[in-house]
Amino acid sequence: MEPLMAITIGILFAAAIYMMLRRSIVKLVIGLMLLSNAANLLIFATAGMIRGAPPLVPQGLSAPEGVVADPLPQALVLTAIVIAFGVLSFAVVLVRRAWEIVRADDLDKMKDTDT
Amino acid sequence: MNPQIALPILIPLMAGAVSLVFWRSRSMQRFIAVAGTASLLLTSLWLLVTVNRDGILVMQMGDWPAPIGISLVADLLGAIMVVLTGIIGFAVALFSLATVGRGHEAYGYFPLMHLLLAGVAGAFLTGDIFNLYVWFEVMLVASFALLILGSEKAQMEGAIKYVALNLVSSVVFLVAVGLLYGMVGTLNMADIARRLATREDDGMVDVLAMMFMVAFGIKAAAFPLFFWLPASYHTPPVAVSALFAGLLTKVGVYALFRVFTLIFHQNPGYTHEILLWGAGLTMLSGVLGAAAQFEFRRILSFHIVSQIGYMILGLALFTPLAIIGGVFYIMHHIIVKTNLFLVSGIVHRLRGTYQLKSLGGLYRSHPWLAVLFLIPALSLAGMPPLSGFFAKFVVIRAAIEAEAYFVTFIALLVGLLTLYSMIKIWAEVFWKSTPPEGDVDPYPAINSREMWLMSAPVVGLALCTLFIGLNAQPIYALAEASAAQLMAPERYIEAVLGASEVTP
């Protein structure tokens, strides 16, 4: 399971970076979305893939028995998903407003503030 | 129980929430802005006094013991940074009363300002690496919204670059946190440091160190990752620029200081060497960028970049004296840089432009403003007896003692070029006579109440600069104590995890 996951994450990162290197700002935002998803999957994978062992404490014990899945990365991913959702929806609105005001989807035409 | 650790985060959060409740009442929001930031300043001073007296303070959220729950930790560096946040927040809140337009206030300027301050204070006080990421995001979201308030064309163009690069930096940070967790199995910074210290060096630690360096380097606007800053900082209303200039990049610098003194300090020959080169190039590229500019706020933006180099230089040399210099530099820089932006705001209010070419004659009409500009400007360039002199002196002396002569040369050269930039602004804005078309531009007359509200924070910050400059010894002692804490990470670890757990 881990090699498959690693390859998927690698492809996602590559696709994200490719999209971000395009000049279109819409593709830039798509790249950012892919990038945040790749990061989330990476955190998910760092804990190791353990199947069918929920971290539940049996009745009468104070710690779960045997090897169980680590619940913390999943909590991290959940937080990161929520944050990424909020930030990316802001980015989508920003791109729309920028299009309305600047009338360009090309980053090369947005260089007024650079020099 | 130490409530003063949580208060600098809770007060701006509460102030922001209450401001939202009074969404329609402009006067109420303005009152809360001043009252909220003033109480933030007072509690942060209380925190600094307590930390200075009792050592590192720790608060476990929800009373979960250290490696499991999230800890809030206030060491001297964190407490100093929170005090500076309070000072800048209060000054900018006062300045906003006069300069932020009705339109901006109606779209939530003040709640966003409080949220930004809460994010900044949270980042300074948290002892948990993932929690640091969350506070970074809180701060970023608030800054995104503040940056585009007003929706002008330049703001949109600047905001796209700002948002894109900061999101990339956040993702790099997040990935680094994930990999770090996968390696050591904990998120508490003290616990990470303790477990990394016992680990065999296998190269993975250096990879992670570099990822953190890139992530925080983008936030701190270090070379070669600073291009978002001069593209965006001159676009929003000036109060927002001043707030960003004072605080946001310094959160990145703080994170670098924290991570590279507490967690990644085992291999300074590799990591800190890269930081050293980065620092030198940051100083140089920032100051050369500024030399080519003729727009008030753009010059100041490039100077943020070059000054960041000095702070990172302090960290990169990694001797006790250099860290003292770095901390002193941060204290001096936050106050001075915010003040310069505020002065540019007053100039803009009086003349209606930021272009140096169309400004002039302000020394004749407003001599006091010229003096108020000179104090932070000369301090930025490092003229004695102002605060910048002592900051630069300590950093450069540390560089000479560490025998890093090339960086010393760059630092001195950059000081000279900074003076050139500041004198350029002085000559163009204040000294030369008013250009003929400057009089034709209609700009609304300014009433005395507005003038008082704008100049009070500028005077206050200039007094802080003078105070640091003329009274450098106690401030130096404070920086020294904080550097001593930074150079002895076991004290931080012991404070968070308890004495019994230090030696595993």
* CA distance from start to end of chain B: 27
- Compare CB distances from B156 to A28, A83, A97 and report the shortest one's residue: A97
**pLDDT, tens digit (0-9, with 9 covering 90-100), for A66-92:** 788 888 888 899 999 999 999 999 999
Cα separation of B501 and B504, whole Å? 6
Residue-wise pLDDT tens digits, B335-354: 999 999 999 999 988 888 88
Closest chain B residue to A48, measured at CA? B182
Best residue in B175, B177, B187, B226 for a mutation probing chain A (most A CBs within 10 Å): B175
HSE-up of B502 (CA within 13 Å, CB side)? 11
Report the share of chain B in percent with pLDDT over 70. 97
User: What's the confidence (pLDDT) of residue B265?
Assistant: 85
| Residue among B151, B234, B231, B163 at smallest CA distance from A101 | B151
Distance CA B52, CA B424 (A): 41
Instruction: Inspect the interface and report whether the beta carbons of A102 and B156 lie closer than 8 Å.
Output: yes
Residue pairs spanning A and B at CB distance below 8 A: 101
| Domain range A2-51+72-105, its CATH number among 1.10.287, 3.30.70, 2.40.360, 1.10.1200 | 1.10.287
Q: Where are the domains of chain A?
A: 2-51+72-105
Cα separation, B241 vs B338, whole angstroms: 8
| Residue among B120, B125, B157 nearest B252 (CA) | B120
Compute the average pLDDT of residues A52-70.
81
Nearest CB to B179 within list A46, A80, A111? A46
The pLDDT of residue B441 is 55
ipTM of this complex prediction, to 2 decimal places: 0.93
CA-atom Rg of chain A in angstroms: 20
Q: Using the predicted structure, report yes or no on whether residue A111 has a pLDDT greater than 80.
A: no
- Find the CB nearest B181 among A46, A87, A114: A46
Q: Which residues of A touch B112 (CB under 8 A)?
A: none
Q: Record the tokens describing residue B180, joined without a space.
A: 């770090």
Long-range contacts of B138-143 (CB under 8 A, 24+ apart): B139/B248, B139/B251, B140/A87, B140/B166, B140/B170, B141/A86, B141/A87, B141/A90, B141/B115, B142/B112, B142/B113, B142/B115, B142/B116, B143/B116, B143/B244, B143/B248
Model confidence at A53, pLDDT cuts 50, 70, 90, reads: confident
Answer whether B152 sits within 8 Å of A101, measured CB to CB.
yes
B235–chain A Cβ distance below 8 A for any pair: yes
Q: Which residues in chain B show pLDDT less than 70?
A: 1, 437-444, 499-504
What is the C-alpha to C-alpha distance for residues B41 and B47, in angstroms, rounded to an integer? 10
Tell me if A35 and B168 make a contact (CB, 8 A cut-off).
yes
Residue with tokens 């006080």: B125
The per-residue pLDDT for B217 is 94
Identify which of B293, B312, B459, B452 has the alpha carbon closest to the alpha carbon of residue B375. B459
Is the pLDDT score of A44 beyond 80? yes
Q: Which two tokens stand for residue B118?
A: 């809460």
- Confidence class of residue A102 from pLDDT cuts 50, 70 and 90? confident
Burial of B58 (0-12, 13-18, 19+ CB in 10 A): buried
| Beta-carbon contacts of residue B472 (< 8 Å; ≥ 6 apart) | B387, B390
Query: Percentage of chain A with pLDDT > 90?
Result: 49
Residue B1's pLDDT is 62
Q: Which amino acid is at B134?
A: V
- With beta carbons less than 8 A apart as the criterion, state whether B88 and B212 touch: no
pLDDT at B310: 93
Structural tokens at position B236: 């929003």
The whole-number pLDDT of residue A107 equals 80
